[in-house]
């Protein structure tokens, strides 16, 4: 059996679909990426799943280290390729957030990690209030004139928001 150039003996023994971490794409290619095709929603105070879209995109392009704090941007200040990649990524959230959020997070000379942290801060700073408000909306939601699919979609959006603010909905009656 031929092995993939990305697999290792140890990973293929435990997971036949395992591959090495994706190689980050070059800055020249990254600058051509239309982020809207990967993150089809605009982040505002009512939208859920924004970070999930971005996390998938960062994983897909092998760039989690840009946002997870494992890389110190100051160490790469003279690395032209890394700086170009970081600058391209910084523009992504700026073009996918509402005007209200954009105005709270825009800072000159921010790197990707700082922008990502600023976005998280906007949502985590008031997470307790958002959780209480959203829990109340979740528990008082009634179907009324909504179709079943609209009702379920609204419940899912509220549940996703609760998960994002650290108060996930649980099944209390599970045996």
pLDDT tens for each residue of 69-119: 888 888 888 888 888 888 888 888 888 888 888 877 777 778 888 888 887
Residues 124 and 110: their CA atoms lie apart, in Å, by 19
For residues 150 and 110, membership in a common domain is answered with no
Q: Which two tokens stand for residue 53?
A: 């879209």
Residue 60 lies in a domain: yes
Looking at residue 149, its pLDDT comes to: 93
Helices (H), the chain: 9-14, 27-30, 50-60, 80-94, 99-105, 112-124, 127-140, 148-164
Mean pLDDT of the chain, nearest integer: 78
- Are 53 and 109 in a shared domain? yes
Tell me, yes or no, whether 74 and 103 share the same domain: yes
Does 113 lie in the same domain as 31?
yes
Instruction: Quote the distance between the C-alpha of residue 11 and its chain's center.
Output: 27
What is the model's pLDDT at position 27? 78
Domain assignment present for 39: yes
Same domain for 120 and 35: yes
| pLDDT of amino acid 77 | 82
Say how many C-beta atoms besides its own lie within 10 A of residue 98's C-beta: 14
32 and 94 together in one domain? yes
Q: How many CB atoms lie within 10 A of CB 85?
A: 24
Whether 133 and 59 share a structural domain: no
Domain of residue 151: give its range: 127-164
Q: What share of the chain is helix, strand, coil (3-state, %, to 5)?
A: 55, 0, 45
State yes or no: pLDDT of 51 exceeds 80: no
Regarding whether 136 and 105 lie in a shared domain, the answer is: no
pLDDT at 156 > cutoff 80: yes
Nearby residues of 21 by Cβ (< 8 Å), 6 or more positions away: 62
pLDDT-derived band at 17, boundaries 50, 70, 90: low
């Amino acid at each position: 059996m031929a092995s993939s150039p990305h697999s290792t003996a140890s990973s293929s023994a435990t997971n036949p679909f395992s591959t090495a971490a994706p190689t980050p794409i070059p800055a020249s290619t990254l600058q051509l990426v239309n982020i809207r095709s990967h993150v089809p929603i605009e982040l505002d105070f009512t939208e859920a799943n924004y970070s999930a879209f971005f996390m998938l995109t960062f994983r897909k392009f092998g760039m989690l280290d840009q946002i997870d704090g494992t890389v110190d941007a100051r160490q790469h200040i003279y690395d032209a390729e890394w700086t170009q990649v970081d600058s391209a990524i910084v523009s992504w959230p700026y073009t996918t957030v509402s005007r209200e959020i954009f105005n709270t997070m825009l800072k000159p000379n921010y790197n990707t990690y700082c922008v990502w942290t600023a976005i998280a801060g906007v949502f985590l700073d008031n997470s307790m209030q958002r959780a209480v408000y959203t829990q109340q909306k979740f528990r008082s939601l009634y179907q009324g004139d909504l179709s079943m699919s609209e009702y379920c979609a609204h419940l899912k959006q509220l549940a996703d928001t609760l998960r994002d603010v650290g108060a996930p909905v649980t099944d209390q009656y599970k045996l």
